[in-house]
Amino acid sequence: MPHGRGMDPPGIDHDDRKHTFTMPALHFLSDMDRVDVVRAFVEDTASGLVLTKDERYHLELAVLEAVMNVMIHAYRSEAGHPIRVVIEVDGEGYLQVEVRDKGVFFNILDLPAPDLQRHIEIQKRGGLGVHLMRNLMDEVAVLQDGDENVLRMRKRLAIA
Q: What is the pLDDT of residues 47-59, one digit of tens each?
A: 888 888 999 999 9
Q: 13-15 and 26-29 as β-strands: parallel, antiparallel, unpaired? A: unpaired
Angle between helices 53-69 and 35-47 (to 10 degrees): 150
Question: What are the backbone dihedrals phi and psi of residue 118, each rounded to the nearest 5 degrees, phi first?
Answer: -65, -40
Check residue 16 and give its pLDDT. 41
Check residue 1 and give its pLDDT. 34
17 band by pLDDT with thresholds 50, 70 and 90: very low
For the residues 104-119, what does the mean pLDDT come to? 74
Question: What are the backbone dihedrals phi and psi of residue 6, each rounded to the nearest 5 degrees, phi first?
Answer: 90, -10
For 13-156, which CATH superfamily applies? Histidine kinase-like ATPase, C-terminal domain (3.30.565.10)
**Residues 137 and 74: beta-carbon distance below 8 Å:** no
Residue ranges per domain, the chain?
13-156
